[in-house]
Amino acid sequence: MRKLFELLAVACLFALPAFGQNFAAPTSTIVDGTGHPVAGATVTVCSGALTLPPVGTVCSPTTTIYSSFSGAAQANPFPSDGFGNWPFFAPTGNYLISISGGPLVAFSFYMSIGGGSVVPPIVLTAQTDATLPLQINSHSVTQSAPLLDVNNQSSGTADTPAVIRGRGFGSFTPAANKALFHLIQESAATAYDAWVITNHAADVSKGSSNVALMAAGVADNGQAQWCGGGAVGDGGTNNYSCLFWTATDGIVEACSNAAACAAVVPFAVRAANSQTADIFDILNSSSVVLSRFDQNGVFDGPIHVTVTTAASVAADAYDRTIFMNQEATAGTAVTYTLPTAANGLMKCAMNSNNGTNPDTGILTLQTSAAGQFIIFTDGTLSASGGFVSSPGAAGDNGCVVGVDGTHWQFFQQSPTAWTKH
Protein backbone atom coordinates (compact mmCIF):
# COMPACT_ATOMS: atom_id res chain seq x y z
CA MET A 1 0.00 0.00 0.00
CA ARG A 2 2.83 2.39 0.87
CA LYS A 3 4.40 1.74 -2.52
CA LEU A 4 1.10 2.66 -4.25
CA PHE A 5 0.95 6.05 -2.48
CA GLU A 6 4.53 6.78 -3.47
CA LEU A 7 3.75 6.06 -7.12
CA LEU A 8 0.63 8.31 -7.00
CA ALA A 9 2.65 11.14 -5.45
CA VAL A 10 5.26 10.94 -8.21
CA ALA A 11 2.52 10.92 -10.87
CA CYS A 12 0.89 14.02 -9.37
CA LEU A 13 4.23 15.78 -9.24
CA PHE A 14 4.77 15.26 -12.96
CA ALA A 15 1.19 16.42 -13.67
CA LEU A 16 1.81 19.89 -12.19
CA PRO A 17 2.95 22.72 -14.53
CA ALA A 18 6.72 22.90 -14.53
CA PHE A 19 8.53 26.14 -13.78
CA GLY A 20 9.13 27.99 -17.05
CA GLN A 21 6.29 26.17 -18.84
CA ASN A 22 5.23 27.75 -22.16
CA PHE A 23 1.75 28.89 -23.13
CA ALA A 24 0.07 29.04 -26.52
CA ALA A 25 -0.05 32.54 -27.98
CA PRO A 26 -3.63 33.78 -28.65
CA THR A 27 -3.08 34.26 -32.38
CA SER A 28 -5.53 34.73 -35.25
CA THR A 29 -5.40 34.36 -39.02
CA ILE A 30 -3.44 36.92 -41.05
CA VAL A 31 -5.58 38.21 -43.92
CA ASP A 32 -5.09 40.79 -46.64
CA GLY A 33 -7.31 43.74 -47.55
CA THR A 34 -9.75 41.43 -49.34
CA GLY A 35 -10.07 39.08 -46.38
CA HIS A 36 -7.99 36.25 -47.89
CA PRO A 37 -5.39 34.46 -45.72
CA VAL A 38 -1.78 35.55 -46.25
CA ALA A 39 0.70 32.68 -46.50
CA GLY A 40 4.36 33.40 -45.87
CA ALA A 41 3.86 36.65 -43.94
CA THR A 42 6.78 37.33 -41.60
CA VAL A 43 5.97 37.22 -37.87
CA THR A 44 8.44 38.81 -35.44
CA VAL A 45 8.05 38.37 -31.66
CA CYS A 46 9.84 40.78 -29.30
CA SER A 47 10.01 41.41 -25.58
CA GLY A 48 11.78 43.88 -23.34
CA ALA A 49 10.95 47.62 -23.33
CA LEU A 50 8.05 46.98 -25.76
CA THR A 51 8.24 50.29 -27.59
CA LEU A 52 5.76 50.17 -30.46
CA PRO A 53 7.67 50.75 -33.73
CA PRO A 54 6.33 53.05 -36.46
CA VAL A 55 4.12 51.59 -39.16
CA GLY A 56 6.31 50.07 -41.87
CA THR A 57 9.00 48.80 -39.49
CA VAL A 58 9.27 45.73 -37.25
CA CYS A 59 10.03 45.40 -33.55
CA SER A 60 13.38 44.55 -31.95
CA PRO A 61 15.04 42.85 -30.18
CA THR A 62 13.51 39.45 -30.79
CA THR A 63 12.95 36.97 -27.98
CA THR A 64 13.06 33.18 -27.70
CA ILE A 65 9.83 31.42 -28.61
CA TYR A 66 8.94 27.71 -28.70
CA SER A 67 7.15 25.19 -30.90
CA SER A 68 5.07 23.60 -28.10
CA PHE A 69 4.27 23.76 -24.39
CA SER A 70 7.63 22.19 -23.53
CA GLY A 71 9.26 21.83 -26.93
CA ALA A 72 12.39 23.25 -28.46
CA ALA A 73 12.92 26.83 -29.46
CA GLN A 74 11.63 27.79 -32.91
CA ALA A 75 12.83 30.35 -35.40
CA ASN A 76 12.04 34.02 -34.76
CA PRO A 77 11.07 35.65 -37.10
CA PHE A 78 9.02 32.88 -38.73
CA PRO A 79 6.52 32.66 -41.65
CA SER A 80 2.78 32.14 -41.45
CA ASP A 81 1.56 28.85 -42.89
CA GLY A 82 -0.48 28.33 -46.06
CA PHE A 83 -3.68 29.29 -44.22
CA GLY A 84 -2.34 32.49 -42.64
CA ASN A 85 -1.87 30.85 -39.24
CA TRP A 86 1.17 31.61 -37.07
CA PRO A 87 1.14 29.52 -33.88
CA PHE A 88 3.91 29.75 -31.31
CA PHE A 89 4.45 29.22 -27.59
CA ALA A 90 6.15 31.41 -24.99
CA PRO A 91 6.44 31.85 -21.22
CA THR A 92 4.00 34.08 -19.35
CA GLY A 93 4.53 37.74 -20.16
CA ASN A 94 3.90 40.68 -22.46
CA TYR A 95 5.17 40.64 -26.03
CA LEU A 96 5.29 42.88 -29.07
CA ILE A 97 4.23 41.27 -32.37
CA SER A 98 5.15 42.62 -35.81
CA ILE A 99 3.53 41.33 -39.00
CA SER A 100 5.20 42.16 -42.32
CA GLY A 101 5.98 40.86 -45.80
CA GLY A 102 3.90 39.93 -48.81
CA PRO A 103 1.10 42.41 -49.53
CA LEU A 104 1.21 43.83 -45.99
CA VAL A 105 2.71 47.07 -44.71
CA ALA A 106 4.51 46.14 -41.50
CA PHE A 107 2.41 46.81 -38.39
CA SER A 108 2.81 45.91 -34.72
CA PHE A 109 0.65 45.29 -31.66
CA TYR A 110 0.92 44.12 -28.06
CA MET A 111 0.04 40.61 -26.87
CA SER A 112 -0.29 39.18 -23.35
CA ILE A 113 0.49 35.42 -23.09
CA GLY A 114 -0.35 33.08 -20.23
CA GLY A 115 -2.05 35.67 -18.04
CA GLY A 116 0.69 38.27 -18.30
CA SER A 117 0.41 41.64 -16.59
CA VAL A 118 -1.52 44.55 -18.08
CA VAL A 119 -0.37 45.18 -21.62
CA PRO A 120 1.23 48.63 -22.07
CA PRO A 121 -0.93 51.23 -23.87
CA ILE A 122 -0.63 51.39 -27.62
CA VAL A 123 1.20 54.52 -28.70
CA LEU A 124 1.38 55.41 -32.39
CA THR A 125 3.94 58.00 -33.42
CA ALA A 126 4.05 59.36 -36.96
CA GLN A 127 7.36 58.80 -38.74
CA THR A 128 7.21 62.24 -40.38
CA ASP A 129 4.95 65.29 -40.27
CA ALA A 130 3.25 64.05 -43.45
CA THR A 131 2.74 60.45 -42.24
CA LEU A 132 -0.67 59.15 -41.16
CA PRO A 133 0.04 57.04 -38.02
CA LEU A 134 -3.26 55.11 -38.03
CA GLN A 135 -5.90 54.34 -40.64
CA ILE A 136 -8.88 52.02 -40.21
CA ASN A 137 -10.58 50.88 -43.43
CA SER A 138 -13.92 49.11 -43.75
CA HIS A 139 -14.02 45.65 -45.29
CA SER A 140 -16.33 46.97 -48.02
CA VAL A 141 -19.00 49.61 -48.68
CA THR A 142 -21.52 47.37 -46.89
CA GLN A 143 -19.59 47.27 -43.59
CA SER A 144 -22.13 46.77 -40.77
CA ALA A 145 -19.92 46.49 -37.67
CA PRO A 146 -18.33 49.63 -36.14
CA LEU A 147 -14.76 50.34 -37.18
CA LEU A 148 -13.92 51.61 -33.71
CA ASP A 149 -15.74 50.87 -30.45
CA VAL A 150 -14.58 52.53 -27.23
CA ASN A 151 -16.41 50.75 -24.41
CA ASN A 152 -15.76 52.15 -20.95
CA GLN A 153 -17.13 49.95 -18.16
CA SER A 154 -14.87 51.43 -15.50
CA SER A 155 -16.20 52.53 -12.12
CA GLY A 156 -12.89 54.20 -11.33
CA THR A 157 -11.91 57.85 -11.38
CA ALA A 158 -11.66 58.35 -15.17
CA ASP A 159 -14.29 60.94 -16.08
CA THR A 160 -13.79 60.84 -19.86
CA PRO A 161 -13.40 57.56 -21.81
CA ALA A 162 -11.87 59.28 -24.83
CA VAL A 163 -9.87 62.50 -24.95
CA ILE A 164 -8.56 64.49 -27.91
CA ARG A 165 -5.90 66.84 -26.68
CA GLY A 166 -3.45 69.23 -28.28
CA ARG A 167 -3.37 71.90 -30.92
CA GLY A 168 -5.84 72.23 -33.76
CA PHE A 169 -4.86 71.46 -37.31
CA GLY A 170 -6.27 72.56 -40.65
CA SER A 171 -7.78 75.81 -41.79
CA PHE A 172 -11.54 76.24 -41.75
CA THR A 173 -13.61 79.30 -42.56
CA PRO A 174 -14.73 81.60 -41.09
CA ALA A 175 -11.55 83.33 -39.94
CA ALA A 176 -9.33 80.34 -40.87
CA ASN A 177 -10.11 78.54 -37.61
CA LYS A 178 -8.28 75.35 -36.62
CA ALA A 179 -9.88 72.18 -35.27
CA LEU A 180 -8.96 69.35 -32.91
CA PHE A 181 -11.63 67.07 -34.38
CA HIS A 182 -12.77 67.06 -38.00
CA LEU A 183 -15.72 64.99 -39.27
CA ILE A 184 -16.19 64.87 -43.05
CA GLN A 185 -19.48 63.65 -44.52
CA GLU A 186 -19.22 62.17 -47.99
CA SER A 187 -22.80 63.27 -48.67
CA ALA A 188 -26.14 63.53 -46.89
CA ALA A 189 -27.21 60.30 -48.62
CA THR A 190 -24.31 58.28 -47.20
CA ALA A 191 -24.13 60.02 -43.80
CA TYR A 192 -26.97 62.42 -43.02
CA ASP A 193 -25.49 63.23 -39.59
CA ALA A 194 -21.82 63.87 -38.90
CA TRP A 195 -22.23 62.83 -35.24
CA VAL A 196 -24.97 61.30 -33.10
CA ILE A 197 -25.28 60.96 -29.31
CA THR A 198 -27.81 58.54 -27.83
CA ASN A 199 -28.69 57.45 -24.29
CA HIS A 200 -29.24 53.76 -23.52
CA ALA A 201 -31.46 54.36 -20.47
CA ALA A 202 -33.70 56.68 -22.51
CA ASP A 203 -33.90 54.12 -25.32
CA VAL A 204 -35.04 51.50 -22.80
CA SER A 205 -37.74 53.85 -21.50
CA LYS A 206 -38.86 54.66 -25.05
CA GLY A 207 -38.90 50.97 -25.95
CA SER A 208 -36.88 51.56 -29.12
CA SER A 209 -33.20 52.10 -29.85
CA ASN A 210 -31.68 55.34 -31.10
CA VAL A 211 -34.81 57.50 -30.87
CA ALA A 212 -33.65 59.74 -28.00
CA LEU A 213 -30.70 61.56 -29.43
CA MET A 214 -28.74 64.66 -30.31
CA ALA A 215 -27.29 64.90 -33.81
CA ALA A 216 -25.64 67.39 -36.12
CA GLY A 217 -24.57 67.48 -39.74
CA VAL A 218 -24.25 69.55 -42.88
CA ALA A 219 -26.58 69.12 -45.86
CA ASP A 220 -25.24 68.88 -49.40
CA ASN A 221 -26.21 72.54 -49.95
CA GLY A 222 -23.90 73.54 -47.10
CA GLN A 223 -26.71 74.21 -44.62
CA ALA A 224 -25.72 73.21 -41.09
CA GLN A 225 -28.23 71.68 -38.69
CA TRP A 226 -28.25 70.64 -35.05
CA CYS A 227 -31.12 68.42 -33.91
CA GLY A 228 -32.31 66.83 -30.70
CA GLY A 229 -35.42 65.21 -29.30
CA GLY A 230 -37.27 61.97 -28.87
CA ALA A 231 -37.54 62.71 -25.15
CA VAL A 232 -39.16 60.21 -22.81
CA GLY A 233 -42.77 61.32 -22.29
CA ASP A 234 -43.23 63.08 -25.63
CA GLY A 235 -46.28 60.97 -26.37
CA GLY A 236 -44.42 58.32 -28.33
CA THR A 237 -44.16 60.54 -31.40
CA ASN A 238 -40.36 60.93 -31.15
CA ASN A 239 -40.46 64.62 -31.99
CA TYR A 240 -37.21 66.17 -33.11
CA SER A 241 -36.50 69.88 -33.21
CA CYS A 242 -33.67 71.20 -35.34
CA LEU A 243 -31.82 74.47 -35.63
CA PHE A 244 -30.97 75.24 -39.26
CA TRP A 245 -28.43 77.84 -40.36
CA THR A 246 -30.01 79.17 -43.57
CA ALA A 247 -28.64 81.55 -46.17
CA THR A 248 -31.52 84.03 -45.90
CA ASP A 249 -33.04 83.76 -42.43
CA GLY A 250 -30.08 82.93 -40.20
CA ILE A 251 -30.97 80.36 -37.53
CA VAL A 252 -34.40 78.74 -38.03
CA GLU A 253 -36.08 76.21 -35.72
CA ALA A 254 -38.12 73.37 -37.23
CA CYS A 255 -39.89 70.31 -35.83
CA SER A 256 -40.03 66.81 -37.34
CA ASN A 257 -43.73 66.21 -36.56
CA ALA A 258 -45.82 69.25 -37.47
CA ALA A 259 -49.06 67.94 -35.94
CA ALA A 260 -47.45 67.01 -32.63
CA CYS A 261 -45.27 70.10 -32.53
CA ALA A 262 -48.24 72.44 -32.93
CA ALA A 263 -48.77 72.19 -29.17
CA VAL A 264 -45.07 72.46 -28.30
CA VAL A 265 -43.26 75.73 -27.56
CA PRO A 266 -40.50 75.79 -30.23
CA PHE A 267 -38.09 77.90 -28.19
CA ALA A 268 -38.09 78.75 -24.50
CA VAL A 269 -35.75 80.57 -22.12
CA ARG A 270 -36.12 79.52 -18.50
CA ALA A 271 -35.20 81.99 -15.76
CA ALA A 272 -33.29 80.91 -12.68
CA ASN A 273 -34.84 81.09 -9.23
CA SER A 274 -34.81 84.70 -7.96
CA GLN A 275 -33.67 85.90 -11.39
CA THR A 276 -32.44 89.51 -11.27
CA ALA A 277 -30.73 89.90 -14.65
CA ASP A 278 -32.59 90.00 -17.97
CA ILE A 279 -33.81 86.67 -19.35
CA PHE A 280 -32.96 87.56 -22.95
CA ASP A 281 -31.14 90.48 -24.57
CA ILE A 282 -30.68 91.51 -28.20
CA LEU A 283 -27.38 93.33 -28.74
CA ASN A 284 -25.79 95.24 -31.58
CA SER A 285 -22.22 94.66 -32.81
CA SER A 286 -20.92 96.92 -30.02
CA SER A 287 -22.74 94.85 -27.35
CA VAL A 288 -25.24 97.62 -26.68
CA VAL A 289 -28.66 96.27 -25.66
CA LEU A 290 -31.22 97.09 -28.36
CA SER A 291 -34.17 95.33 -26.77
CA ARG A 292 -34.65 92.94 -23.90
CA PHE A 293 -36.92 90.72 -21.86
CA ASP A 294 -36.46 91.55 -18.18
CA GLN A 295 -36.40 89.05 -15.30
CA ASN A 296 -40.22 88.98 -15.29
CA GLY A 297 -40.48 88.35 -19.02
CA VAL A 298 -41.61 91.92 -19.83
CA PHE A 299 -40.41 93.12 -23.22
CA ASP A 300 -38.62 96.46 -23.33
CA GLY A 301 -37.38 97.97 -26.57
CA PRO A 302 -37.51 101.19 -28.58
CA ILE A 303 -40.41 102.07 -30.87
CA HIS A 304 -39.29 102.96 -34.37
CA VAL A 305 -39.59 106.71 -34.98
CA THR A 306 -39.53 108.07 -38.53
CA VAL A 307 -39.21 111.79 -39.25
CA THR A 308 -41.00 112.67 -42.50
CA THR A 309 -40.59 115.75 -44.69
CA ALA A 310 -42.75 114.73 -47.67
CA ALA A 311 -46.46 115.04 -48.44
CA SER A 312 -46.88 111.30 -49.08
CA VAL A 313 -45.29 108.54 -47.02
CA ALA A 314 -45.48 104.86 -48.01
CA ALA A 315 -45.99 101.99 -45.56
CA ASP A 316 -42.87 100.74 -43.80
CA ALA A 317 -41.92 97.24 -42.62
CA TYR A 318 -41.84 97.94 -38.87
CA ASP A 319 -44.51 96.56 -36.53
CA ARG A 320 -44.65 99.77 -34.48
CA THR A 321 -43.89 103.19 -35.96
CA ILE A 322 -44.41 106.79 -34.88
CA PHE A 323 -44.27 109.17 -37.84
CA MET A 324 -43.17 112.73 -36.98
CA ASN A 325 -44.33 115.28 -39.57
CA GLN A 326 -41.61 117.93 -39.97
CA GLU A 327 -42.60 119.20 -43.41
CA ALA A 328 -40.73 122.43 -44.19
CA THR A 329 -43.96 124.18 -45.16
CA ALA A 330 -45.79 124.00 -41.87
CA GLY A 331 -49.31 123.77 -43.29
CA THR A 332 -48.65 121.05 -45.89
CA ALA A 333 -51.05 118.09 -45.66
CA VAL A 334 -49.38 114.69 -45.30
CA THR A 335 -50.82 111.25 -46.12
CA TYR A 336 -49.44 108.13 -44.43
CA THR A 337 -50.36 104.88 -46.21
CA LEU A 338 -50.88 101.95 -43.84
CA PRO A 339 -49.72 98.37 -44.52
CA THR A 340 -52.26 95.56 -44.68
CA ALA A 341 -53.83 95.25 -41.25
CA ALA A 342 -52.56 92.52 -38.91
CA ASN A 343 -53.08 91.83 -35.24
CA GLY A 344 -50.65 93.78 -33.07
CA LEU A 345 -49.35 96.29 -35.63
CA MET A 346 -49.39 99.93 -34.55
CA LYS A 347 -48.89 103.09 -36.61
CA CYS A 348 -49.05 106.64 -35.24
CA ALA A 349 -48.72 110.05 -36.89
CA MET A 350 -48.32 113.48 -35.31
CA ASN A 351 -47.48 117.05 -36.25
CA SER A 352 -44.03 117.95 -34.96
CA ASN A 353 -41.82 121.01 -35.59
CA ASN A 354 -39.92 121.79 -38.77
CA GLY A 355 -37.14 123.58 -36.91
CA THR A 356 -38.78 127.00 -37.17
CA ASN A 357 -42.49 126.56 -36.63
CA PRO A 358 -44.97 123.95 -35.42
CA ASP A 359 -46.33 121.84 -38.27
CA THR A 360 -50.08 122.28 -38.76
CA GLY A 361 -50.89 120.19 -41.84
CA ILE A 362 -53.82 117.79 -42.07
CA LEU A 363 -52.61 114.27 -41.28
CA THR A 364 -54.26 111.32 -43.03
CA LEU A 365 -53.95 107.62 -42.14
CA GLN A 366 -54.95 105.83 -45.36
CA THR A 367 -55.76 102.09 -45.55
CA SER A 368 -53.85 100.12 -48.16
CA ALA A 369 -56.69 98.78 -50.35
CA ALA A 370 -60.39 97.99 -50.69
CA GLY A 371 -61.51 95.58 -47.98
CA GLN A 372 -59.43 97.37 -45.33
CA PHE A 373 -61.35 99.29 -42.64
CA ILE A 374 -60.67 101.64 -39.74
CA ILE A 375 -62.84 101.30 -36.63
CA PHE A 376 -63.40 104.89 -35.47
CA THR A 377 -63.50 106.16 -31.88
CA ASP A 378 -67.30 105.81 -31.82
CA GLY A 379 -67.17 102.18 -32.98
CA THR A 380 -68.32 102.82 -36.52
CA LEU A 381 -66.40 101.70 -39.60
CA SER A 382 -64.75 103.81 -42.24
CA ALA A 383 -65.52 103.14 -45.86
CA SER A 384 -63.85 100.14 -47.52
CA GLY A 385 -60.33 101.30 -48.30
CA GLY A 386 -61.14 104.42 -46.27
CA PHE A 387 -59.08 106.75 -44.10
CA VAL A 388 -59.13 109.08 -41.08
CA SER A 389 -57.89 112.69 -41.08
CA SER A 390 -56.85 115.18 -38.42
CA PRO A 391 -58.30 118.71 -38.31
CA GLY A 392 -54.95 120.26 -39.34
CA ALA A 393 -53.54 121.94 -36.25
CA ALA A 394 -50.40 121.97 -34.15
CA GLY A 395 -50.22 118.93 -31.90
CA ASP A 396 -52.47 116.75 -34.07
CA ASN A 397 -51.79 113.08 -33.35
CA GLY A 398 -53.56 109.76 -33.80
CA CYS A 399 -52.81 106.04 -33.88
CA VAL A 400 -54.23 102.85 -35.33
CA VAL A 401 -53.71 99.34 -33.92
CA GLY A 402 -54.18 96.23 -36.04
CA VAL A 403 -57.12 94.06 -34.90
CA ASP A 404 -57.08 91.38 -37.60
CA GLY A 405 -56.28 91.05 -41.29
CA THR A 406 -58.82 93.68 -42.39
CA HIS A 407 -59.43 96.05 -39.45
CA TRP A 408 -57.53 98.82 -37.66
CA GLN A 409 -58.70 100.40 -34.39
CA PHE A 410 -58.20 104.20 -34.28
CA PHE A 411 -57.56 106.31 -31.16
CA GLN A 412 -56.37 109.87 -30.71
CA GLN A 413 -55.04 112.36 -28.18
CA SER A 414 -55.44 115.44 -30.37
CA PRO A 415 -57.10 118.47 -28.85
CA THR A 416 -59.47 118.50 -31.86
CA ALA A 417 -61.35 115.44 -33.15
CA TRP A 418 -60.31 113.57 -36.27
CA THR A 419 -62.85 112.50 -38.91
CA LYS A 420 -63.39 109.19 -40.69
CA HIS A 421 -63.98 108.75 -44.42
Out of 76-90, 121-135, 193-207, 321-335, pick the least confident: 121-135
DSSP-derived letter for residue 4 is H
- Please give the pLDDT value at position 231: 82
Phi, psi of 13 (to 5 degrees): -60, -45
> Is the confidence at residue 158, as pLDDT, over 80?
no
Q: Which residue has the higher pLDDT, 13 or 269?
A: 269
pLDDT band at 98 (very low <50, low <70, confident <90, very high): very high
Count other C-beta atoms under 10 Å from residue 391's C-beta.
Answer: 14
Q: By percentage, how much of the chain surpasses pLDDT 70?
A: 90
Amino acid sitting at position 326: Q
Q: Is there a common fold for 20-113 and 304-420?
A: no
> Is the confidence at residue 411, as pLDDT, over 60?
yes
**174: number of CA atoms within 13 Å, CB side?**
0
pLDDT band at 301 (very low <50, low <70, confident <90, very high): confident
Q: Could you tell me if 340 and 405 are in contact, meaning their C-beta atoms sit under 8 angstroms apart? A: yes
CATH of domain 304-420: 2.60.120
Domain ranges of the chain: 20-113, 192-261, 304-420
Closest CA relative to residue 269, chosen from 254, 279, 258: 279
Q: Which CATH class, in words, describes the domain spanning 20-113? A: mainly beta
